[in-house]
Amino acid sequence: MSDLATKIRRLEEAGRKLAADPEPADLCQRVVDVVAEAFRMDICALFLVEDRGRTVLAAHYHYQVDDAFREIPVGKGLVGWVAEHGEPALVPDVRAEPRYLNAIDTARSEVTVPLRHEGKVIGVIDLESREPAAFDRDDLLLLSVFAGQAGAILGAARARAALEEEISRLTAKAARFELIHRVGQTLVDGPDLKTAMQRVAELVATSLGYNHTSVLLFDPALEELEIISAYGYCDTKGLRIPVSQGATGYAARHGEPVIISDVTSDPRYVKGLRNGRSELAVPVTRGGAVCGVIDVESPDLAAFGEKDVALLQVVASYTAAAVAAACCEESLAQERAAHARTELKVQLLGRVGEALNAIVEPDALFAEILRLAAEVLHYDRSAILLVEPETGHLVLSHSRGYPETERGSRVPANEGVTGRAYRLGQPVLVSSVEKDEGYIEVAPGAKSEMAIPLRAGNECIGILDVESVESVFTRADLGLLAAFGEQVSTALTSSRLRADAARQVRTLDERARRLDLLNRVARSLTRRLAIDDLIEVILRLCTEAFDIDHCAILLKDDTAPDTLVLRAAIGYDRDAPRRLPLGKGITGHVASSGVPALVPDVTQDPRYVTGMSGGRAEMAAPLRVFGDIIGVLDAESADVGAFGEEDLDLFASFAAQAAVAIHNANMAARSDGAGGR
């Protein structure tokens, strides 16, 4: 059998092995093992292409390299080149190949092929040999064929993993919405208050895993909270807690949620669960006043977070609606018309809670608010105006039913019905716009107008304004709109909490990434290198750590200490100044003052000396050793405001490490020179 036939047979066997078990515990390592066996190779690796423009070593066979070669930028080295161009590479002699990165000193030849899935390069298979010209065109062709099969299997596995993760997330989200729907449905179905509250406690406990849940109603005459329903406790019916005691009392007094991560260290805790360790109490408010508290306990430390608060606040709003309905039934039984409006209010809150709390994007949320206002409450015209923090004006964000409105138009906060609602911070009713001197006509034909504040937490962020062209609004209509506004405000608060949480997670992820890179920098700079090689390493690590394309190192001239010399740069213009006097330019200023500099827009800074064409932002940090400044580390960007204070802090830390490494390299060079003499 010919050598090619043998290789084909091995490749066919490798394909069968891979296809026989396409979902092992470690699919990447399985691919590498199969390739190594099929091609009889000692050195084999699989790199996956990440979204941030890097290839990451995912599996290997005898591929022992430094940490610096475990992540390779797309476009760099043979692996990066194949990832960028999607073409295979065959190198008979790596020492004559300029693209080769010397990751393995003993390697002499290499073959590298891309892994594709649905037309996109998702990874690279890299084979290396200690023998020159160890691979031929047949190897390249056969490995490419195998890579096609492996890429399809790997891509499908990654797609399945992503789908499973999304299904898990949506399942959890669906469980929360199912709870909200079931709570709303329980209250809408109209059982008596105690039965409804018991059902709410059971739903919260069983649906969310809050195995110990209670609902307490506020008795203003006695200044006490009475447990009206509970789940997971011993007999608690009729138990009363003064509002001056416990987490529930605190929530009732202050009208705000209370999270206790460890009840053993919080004096507010009143024992309810024998082995309780954490507690969450959320107030139930009606018309701005607290009418009760929903309380949950857990035997685990720190069992509750902001997501639990947001979810229980939605449940609390339903509970408030039920309390309001019960009060109306008990005290105003003769007013059937008012009772009918209360039922409508409960139905409205149910629809609003389900619809609005599922929306994340602000534009979609505002559009849904106006749609519900028109279709559920039958308002002829409605608009949302948002507060502009810089001017305090109200800016038209969304509208519905107006013949001609221009988004972005402004209304001073001291004018019109909307301005009145904003200044007072409460709903405003104008039964007849013709008799109101402050009314501002936006479109002809209006008879009556109402406006309510929209809140995200305790902050008023805008106004919901409605007009009628056929009927006249009454106080009952205003109450209904206010109830609608409470649900809208809850949705806005939840939306902002989700957005804030996402931003915080992104910030923490980015900081963790940079700190990890700086950690790697510290390890990399401990190697003994010649000064020129060290400076190149520092610049390369700087571009990786801060995701920048333009940076430079300037060192003081030994023969002219009042002058900075550009030792090396990445991305700077060839005609950039090679020498700068101390005090000139931003780098010269940093060298003379010893203070890091952050310039959001260099075109507005007279100190700036051009380093790169089109530069707009710059940051520079001194290279300081034992109190002496030996130079400056500088970075530029084409984007205005590209760097922030946190970037500068990390950049200064990087510069401090680089300065010590440069100093040590200089000292070592002098020591070697002295020893040579």
Let me know: does 635 contact 539? Beta carbons within 8 Å. no
Q: Which CATH number fits domain 3-162: 3.40.50.2020, 3.30.450.40, 3.40.50.800, 3.40.50.720?
A: 3.30.450.40
> Is residue 477 a contact partner of residue 348, using CB atoms and an 8 Å limit?
no
At residue 531, what is the residue type?
A: I
631, pLDDT greater than 90: yes
Q: Which residues contact 358 (CB under 8 A, 6 or more apart)?
A: 177
Across residues 97-121, what is the average pLDDT? 87
pLDDT higher than 50, residue 511: yes
Q: Over range 77-92, report the average pLDDT.
A: 90
Question: Bridge partners of 128?
Answer: 43, 110
For residues 123 and 587, give the distance between their C-alpha atoms in angstroms, rounded to a whole number: 41
Q: Which of 19-28, 394-403, 536-545 has the lowest mean pLDDT?
A: 19-28
Q: In terms of pLDDT, which residue wins out, 3 or 583?
A: 583
Give me the phi and psi of 644, to 5 degrees please.
Answer: -120, 180
Q: Are 297 and 216 in contact (CB under 8 A)?
A: no
The 10s digit of each residue's pLDDT in 296-310 is 888 888 888 888 888
Q: 189-331: which CATH topology?
A: Beta-Lactamase (3.30.450)
pLDDT at 219: 86
What is the Rg, in whole angstroms, of the alpha carbon atoms belonging to the chain? 34
pLDDT band per the 50, 70, 90 thresholds, residue 459: confident
Compute φ and ψ for 532, nearest 5 degrees: -65, -40
Share of the chain above pLDDT 70, in %: 80
Q: What does the DSSP assignment read for 550-601?
A: -EEEEEE-SS-TTEEEEEEEES--TTS-SEEETTSHHHHHHHHH---EEES-
pLDDT in tens, 160-185: 777 777 777 666 666 666 666 666 66
Task: Please state the three-class secondary structure of 133-185 as a single string.
Answer: CCCCHHHHHHHHHHHHHHHHHHHHHHHHHHHHHHHHHHHHHHHHHHHHHHHHH
- Crossing angle of helices 645-676 and 475-524, in 10° steps, is 0
Q: Give the separation between CA 198 and CA 204, rounded to whole angstroms.
A: 10
Per-residue confidence band for 618, with pLDDT thresholds at 50, 70 and 90: very high
Whether 1 has a pLDDT exceeding 60, the answer reads no
Query: Which fold does the domain 525-676 belong to in CATH?
Result: Beta-Lactamase (3.30.450)
> The dihedral of CA 625, 626, 630, 635: what is its sign?
positive
Q: Do domains 3-162 and 360-478 have the same CATH topology?
A: yes
Question: DSSP for 91-144?
Answer: ES-GGG-TT---SSTT--EEEEEEEEETTEEEEEEEEEESSTT---HHHHHHHH
Burial classification of residue 37, based on how many CB atoms lie within 10 Å of its CB (0-12 exposed, 13-18 middle, 19 or more buried): middle
Give per-residue pLDDT as tens, 265-304: 888 887 766 677 888 888 988 878 888 888 888 888 888 8
What's the CA gap between 295 and 279, in Å, rounded?
Answer: 7
**With a threshold of 0.75, does the pTM exceed it?**
no
Q: What is the pLDDT of residues 310-331, one digit of tens each?
A: 878 887 887 777 776 666 555 4
Query: What value does the mean pLDDT of the chain take?
Result: 80
- For residue 512, give both structure tokens: 């963790």
- Tell me the β-bridge partners of 410: 395
CB of 217 within 8 A of CB of 291?
yes
360-478 CATH fold: Beta-Lactamase (3.30.450)
Query: For the chain, which residues make up each domain, given as ranges?
Result: 3-162, 189-331, 360-478, 525-676
pLDDT at 353 over 80: no
Residue 382, CA distances (Å) to 143, 454, 482 in order: 65, 14, 14
pLDDT at 191: 60
Q: Which residue has the higher pLDDT, 119 or 189?
A: 119
- Could you give the dihedral angle defined by the CA atoms of residues 569, 571, 575 and 580, in that order, rounded to the nearest 10 degrees? -40
User: Distance between CA 344 and CA 98 in Å, rounded?
Assistant: 76
